[in-house]
Structure 1
């Protein structure tokens, strides 16, 4: 989501009224929600209603209102797009001015109105810590699930870290499950004070089929924004407290730096930063949780990841955060493939918070992996009922439907997920697989093309596109795809095997044998790889080598009649008539037992010819 920003030559001078109580009194969630809805506006591109976001009213001077938003919400003004403000009373106003604050994803926006609207109270964002409860208020974007997004969403969460700014000036991380369109919305503390502007939400998959998601909110604290303006000599009417003169980074700084490195696939660097955060704060449960996530997702260090998640769970429980504790426990059980254990943990999380859609999504994924796809679909249905804009629940429901053979239903779910999240590589990937399962090779290739366009480092997308290309007759294109899959994952045994098959089809049996040999080195227990190498050796008239490979395939899988049949043919050609007929008889017996009538009749005809 990195944008190229144009720094304006001048900035708007604004005056913000700082209101702080001498005693901080927490309001009820409903009271904070009311405040959020009164100060949050919707920002819409007048030429494209799908291009929308949110903003927060921070000042009124006469009939001029000033609001803050994320710059990426209104950045298209530089290319001529016109935006409008929709206020809480559903009135529409033209934007009269847009100026970006340099070095941060923030913009100051003005509009004119004679109506009276509430102004945000600015809170002390320096006091926001990992123990702070926050609320994010913003308007969802228009999607297939939300066709008329006129009501602001209000999402409760908890701060994970508040530290030094990273890319785009983001310096606060929280676990609120925000969605597209809420960018630029208000981040409020329990006193209903504005402490940050919501920037974006990152959704990161755990596992090949999006088995669960981590949703992380990123924002810019108000004081961070004020300090940027102060450095430029811009009069904002209020001063943030001075930055500590200490140059020693704190745990939160390392946590935020670790998150940034993780998003850039610098997994070792991310682990190093999370380790430093833990060193400075041994009770930093979220740092343990995130380090475990990186170890599993980035480096596939299952044992170390499970250890970190176990520690995170222990700390969450000790800190009275039972829901987070069960979340960690469920993730730990999940990566250890203890799916019943994961289900039990998510059961407990659901008891604590039965309205958390993510818990149902996570339990559904554990059920799917344990083979209970119908139970998984029930959970995904519940998640969608709680959050109609939950793209991953549609994605996962589609995956379970596909597992049950309902590929058309799966495509319907994947299509809905794609409308909500059009840049999700897994959605295109799964659409490609579903179309392939329906025999629609062209549609499969088109969707896998999109998956590769979004993530050109995704080996499975190349692998499956290679299969679809091969079956469409494009053997050379298939070889190219399998080669790319191997380049990205040198241990991809199936890619070597399939490249070998296509090389053989193209007449390159020596190259095919090299590929089958490498596949066997990677997976010496695959009967299929020996069988395929035997077939390629047979094409090169290496009858003894072929017989040796077919024999090894039979040792691994003695119930495959094709192996006996193929070995029988080669034995006959090698002048071993008796051995060949014995193999044919064994193949016929297996075919008959397995109900393969056509193959049985074919082999019996061959036996009569050679008897």
Structure 2
């Protein structure tokens, strides 16, 4: 598409004779009610979430991620939409990404219950993340409650205190929000996900999705540090021998490495983890991601195959395998994987977008247009989908539709405005609006992503408007940078359409352009 833009301790003390009856699991709806009453939104200093963990008189304490409160002026929004000014922020020691935030209110708010020992959480357990994500479709964040599973719960703390890994589909704004078990107990604070880790690319370099994994800081880590810092209400925990979890530690290490782009390190971590437990499906998924980023697309496909064979219900595995196949030029099989991904998750916007690109490669332009439209319906501010759909509309002769899509992309401040203005200009030219096309190309000419197509298209248009000196000057610069612009077949292959192509022929036949060496 030449012109298209194209994721230790037991708390407190107990007598020898005492015991605790096991809490029974709650329904997801019951856990959601607890989460909604205790989860707060953090705004004005950043966009984040937190959870109420203490009440003393009229003073409430919130636990959140430190990076969600790094700026001044924080406001707390509680479950009843009341807003409170933050009165105190206490960051944690050892650079652990936690902070305690206080506010004052005469109202009564529910306090979350912490799990007594988060080390008991095992891979595969159902968990939930609550918070207030930032989305492109909604101006004010709303409360969300997202289900997922634990991937690993290591003993070894990674950078900033993270150690729990899970696959809930989080968004920016969830940071600092609580992670819950099926008993309605807070087991961790969510911190690293979409906004903090390296994200998986779609076929467009501007479109990224999360790899499917997040990192959280466990309740045990919080309790140990709170006791060490002398925070009231948190006595020193009783330390017991920890169960070794080498595979979980390696998973947490790998997810932390992803933030730094250390894919060779991830590959080494996963090779060791697979040697320990070759039956854990997520290990192959993570290793596949690393291989893909390192350029080994075939090796990535093999690992995704193993992951899917062991667990055929993970949408991201099909998506990533499809993207690897796309990069290998196997567009039909890529489409089949995107189909499977969408079947599992009908809201998988990146799968619709990449499936559209694969259909375009197979010359199914109507199918591509339909999938771009589905992506836009799910994510109305998915800018690359507008610009890509706008270009395909141009190719099929829907010039008015192309202008409209490119105008929408421009209005929403597309990251590659030069390309978008140029696409709009080509469509305007085919509509006979040569003067409007010139204005669009002039705007594109002064933007950072200017390419020779823009210069040459503007040169052709100016020549036929009688502005020959400027036309020849631009044409010479463009051709010297890309001599193939003198070849009509080259322009045709770049999908220059009837009107601009006819005028380009006349421009190329001029003596001055013919003399360019």
Relative to the length of structure 1, the TM-score reads 0.62
CA contact (8 A) 2:48 2:175 kept: yes
| Residues 494-505 of structure 1: pairs in structure 2 closer than 5 A | none
TM-superposed deviation, 1:293: 1.5
Please name the residue that 2:437 is paired with.
Answer: none
Query: SS in structure 2 opposite 1:25?
Result: coil
Secondary structure at 1:191 match in 2: coil
State yes or no: 1:225 paired with 2:222.
Answer: yes
Aligned to 2:256: 260
Whole-angstrom CA distance in 2 between matches of 1:441 and 1:356: 37
CA RMSD of aligned residues (A): 4.2
What residue number does 2:61 align with?
66
Query: Are residues 222 and 266 of structure 1, via their aligned partners in 2, closer, same or farther at CA, if it must alter by over 3 Å?
Result: same
CA 337–397 in structure 1, closer or farther in 2 if over 3 Å, else same: farther
CA contact (8 A) 1:41 1:88 kept: yes
Q: How does 1:528-543 map to 2 (within 5 A)?
A: none
* Equivalence map 1:73-88=2 (5 Å): 73-77=68-72, 82-88=73-79
Map 1:452-471 → 2, pairs under 5 A: none
Judging changes above 3 Å, is the alpha-carbon distance between structure 1 residues 25 and 559 closer, same or farther for their aligned structure 2 residues? same
Aligned-pair distance for 1:161?
Answer: 2.6
Aligned to 1:193: 185
Instruction: State the distance in 2 between where 1:472 and 1:355 align.
Output: 40
Does the 8 Å CA contact 1:170/1:219 hold for their aligned counterparts? yes
Q: 1:180 maps to which residue? A: 172
Counterpart of 2:130 in structure 1 is: 137
CA distance in 1, matches of 2:479, 2:347: 55
> Is contact 1:292–1:304 with CA below 8 Å preserved after alignment?
yes
Match of 1:108 in 2: 100
Higher relative contact order (CA 8 A, sep 6+): 2
The Cα shift of 1:365 comes to 4.7
Distance 1:157 1:239, change over 3 A: farther
Q: Which residue of 1 aligns with 2:417?
A: 431
In 2, Cα distance between equivalents of 1:407 and 1:16: 66
Residues 413 and 126 from structure 1, CA distance in 2 versus in 1: closer, same or farther, beyond 3 angstroms?
farther
Secondary structure of 1:22's partner? Answer: coil
Call closer, same or farther: CA 1:600–1:385 in 2, change over 3 Å. Answer: closer
Counterpart mapping for 1:355-394 below 5 A: 355-357=347-349, 359-361=351-353, 363-386=355-378, 393-394=382-383
Aligned to 2:389: 400
Partner of 2:31: 32
Contact 1:209-1:399 at 8 Å conserved across structures: no
Task: Trace 1:244-255 onto structure 2 (pairs within 5 A).
Answer: 244=241, 250-255=246-251
Residue 84 of structure 2 corresponds to residue 93 of structure 1: yes
Contact 1:310-1:332 within 8 A present in 2 as well: no
Moved more, 375-384 or 66-75: 375-384
1:293 aligned partner: 289
CA distance in 2 between partners of 1:105 and 1:309 (Å): 32
- Counterpart secondary structure, 1:305: helix
Q: Corresponding residue for 1:346?
A: 338
- The alpha-carbon deviation at position 225 of structure 1 amounts to 1.7
| CA 181–114 in structure 1, closer or farther in 2 if over 3 Å, else same | same
| Secondary structure in structure 2 of the residue aligned to 1:140 | coil
- How far apart, CA to CA, are the structure 2 residues paired with 1:84 and 1:560? 58
Distance across 2 between alignment mates of 1:213 and 1:156: 18
Partner-residue secondary structure (3-state), 1:196? strand
Could you list the per-position Cα deviations for residues 262-318 of structure 1 after superposition, in whole angstroms to 9, with x for gaps in the alignment? 322222222111211222221222221121122112x2112211111111111213x
Q: In 2, are the aligned partners of 1:435 and 1:444 still within 8 Å (CA)?
A: no
User: Which structure's residues are more often helix, by fraction?
Assistant: 1
Instruction: Decide which moves more: 435-444 or 337-346.
Output: 435-444
Moved more, 56-65 or 337-346: 337-346
1:237 corresponds to? 234
| In structure 1, distance between residues paired with 2:281 and 2:236 | 33
* Match in the other structure for 1:128: 121
Whether contact under 8 Å (2:74, 2:86) holds in the other structure is yes
Larger radius of gyration: 1
Shift in alpha-carbon separation, 1:89–1:599, aligned structure 2, 3 A: closer
- Cα displacement (A) at 1:597: 7.0
Preserved CA contact (<8 Å) 2:215 2:255: no
- Superposed displacement of residue 260, structure 1: 2.4
Structure 1: stretches of 5+ with no match in the other structure: 1-14, 419-426, 449-463, 474-500, 507-527, 536-556, 562-592, 607-611
Cα offsets for 1:422-462 (capped at 9, x unmatched) = xxxxx62x4342234445465566454xxxxxxxxxxxxxx
Taking the aligned partners of 1:445 and 1:252, their CA distance within structure 2 comes to 51
Task: Return 5+ residue gaps in structure 2 as ranges.
Answer: 1-10, 395-401, 426-439, 460-475, 492-501
